[in-house]
Amino acid sequence: MNGRATVWIVAAGVFVVNLDLFIVNVAVPAIGTDFGDAPLTSLSWVLNAYAIVFAALLVVAGRLADRYGHRPTFLLGLALFTAASVLCAASPSVGWLIAARAVQAAGAAALMPTSLALLLIVTPAQSRPRAIRGWAAVGGIAAGLGPVVGGVLVEADWRWTFLVNVPVGAIGLLAGARFLPADSPDRDGALPDLAGAALLTLTIGTLALGLVRADDWGWASPGVVGSLAAAALLGAVFWWRSARHPVPVVEIPMLRIRAFGVATLSALLFTVAFAAVLLTSVLWCQQVWGYSAIRTGLAIAPGPLVVPVVTVLSGPVIRRFGAGVTSMTGCLLIAVGVGWWTAALGIDPHYLARFFPGMLITGVGVGFALPTLIGAAAAALPAARFATGSAVTTMARQTGSVLGVAITATLLGTPDTGDSALTAFHHAWTAAAIASVVAAATALAMQVRARETSVAASPS
């Protein structure tokens, strides 16, 4: 009974965390309207505050869980995520909401790595690969349902997009306190680098600030130049500290494993494009075509829904052509999808002929690229480093999400006519296409390296 209960509790926690991403994206326009037509440059921090804190604390939370126990860390994370969801729903201003989202992200950072650890504790060794695939599939299910669920909730009130987490969190806490298994923490290990996590937070935050405010302040303004320079300096200090700390946020030697480093970099670049696609599709439907939130959710849903299907079908493709070619193809399909929107979309709504094909193509691209890159990164590491490696890859993806949202916000700006909005979206989609193409080229390097290794290892 405990094993089955653990699976359901873990799945519920992972589901609400993943669902939150897609729901909040759909809710962004409604949040802006409710807070006096807040500009996108401010609203982008509702997304970015979450991604920045989640990225910075993910590895730290995993290491603390190893030291103090996965069960208490999971329950703490779920409690924090649930309480912060209430704070988000009660927010009287954008600033309050941004702060509450940061707290919510801290809870998610504690919940995600411990959820997988608890799942593996109650799973027999021979069944663990299937359990890991199931754990990852929960995120795909949440992605498919997120836009539609978000649309329905926003139609009632955007605050319900956060309150929906509360009953799931409360039930999970009650059931978790009774059924989740205990483990044997290692209290002798060194504490993780909390100062390094703070440095990473400041690095990504100042970089996002410079990018988000570039349209308002000007690229040559002291604020933008200072933000970008500060990000570079903080990033250098973070790298220096990570190279010397016994338990760093990012293990530099791990990044020197070529296949892992390349896959992680490609995942970061891929997520820049993915975040831009998700945000622009929501804003286009609601702000340019005037769709309701629920209609927007239904319009976006085909993309996320096709992802798990393609993920299942991609197995034979990977075996036949390799992870590099498969993920490269996925990244290029995303570029094709946003290229379609650039060429086909106009101010007048034409969903089936113009918007739907681009959404379907990008969904197929995500299905080929994302799980393949995650799998390639994990496969490059020994089994003992899988958990840490997956956390680093997730951290890179969250960083990519911050950059994608920040770049999109500054490129969209605040257009005041239909034609200027069309031009702004073209710029954002072009940037997403460039990021996708660069990600594709990076992914192909995995294939080239694998071929070189194979040739070098073959007998002469």
Mean pLDDT of 170-198: 84
Over residues 422-432, the pLDDT tens digits come to 999 999 999 99
Does 112 have pLDDT greater than 80? yes
Q: What is the predicted pLDDT for the residue at 358?
A: 96
- Residue 184, judged by CB atoms within 10 A of its CB (0-12, 13-18, 19+), counts as exposed
Which one is the CATH code of 251-453: 3.40.50.2300, 1.20.990.10, 1.20.140.10, 1.20.1250.20? 1.20.1250.20
Which one is the CATH code of 1-179: 3.30.70.260, 1.10.645.10, 1.20.1250.20, 3.40.50.620? 1.20.1250.20
Mean pLDDT of 181-191: 73
Confidence bin at 100 (pLDDT 50/70/90): very high
Question: At CA 37, angle to CA 207 and CA 153, rounded to 5?
Answer: 95
Same fold for the pair 1-179 and 251-453:
yes
Over residues 161-182, the pLDDT tens digits come to 999 999 999 999 999 998 888 8
Q: What is the predicted pLDDT for the residue at 50?
A: 93
Domain boundaries, the chain: 1-179, 193-248, 251-453
For CA atoms 425, 360, 310, 318, the dihedral sign is: negative
Question: At CA 284, angle to CA 359 and CA 228, rounded to 5?
Answer: 100
Q: What is the predicted pLDDT for the residue at 457?
A: 32
Position with higher pLDDT, 437 vs 315:
437
How many other C-beta atoms lie within 10 A of the C-beta of residue 316?
9
Q: By three-state DSSP, how is residue 78 classified?
A: helix
Q: What is the predicted pLDDT for the residue at 21?
A: 78
Confidence bin at 357 (pLDDT 50/70/90): very high
pTM of the predicted model, to two decimals? 0.89
Over residues 6-29, the pLDDT tens digits come to 888 888 888 888 888 778 989 999
Q: What is the predicted pLDDT for the residue at 120?
A: 78
Taking alpha carbons only, the member of 395, 356, 354 closest to residue 374 is 395
